[in-house]
Amino acid sequence: MTWLQGFVSGIILSLFVALLSPIGQYITHNYITPEYFNTVIEYSVTNDIMTRTKANDYFNINNYMWQSAFGALGFGVVTAAIVAFFTRKK
Could you read off the pLDDT of 35-44 as tens digits, one per residue?
A: 999 999 999 9
Query: Do residues 68 and 25 lie in contact, with contact meaning Cβ atoms separated by under 8 Å?
Result: yes
When pLDDT is averaged across residues 34-62 and rounded to a whole number, the result is 96
Average pLDDT over residues 33-61: 96
- Residue 90's pLDDT is what? 73
Tell me the C-alpha distance between 80 and 26, whole Å: 26
Q: How far apart are CA 54 and CA 21, in angstroms?
A: 24
DSSP 48: T
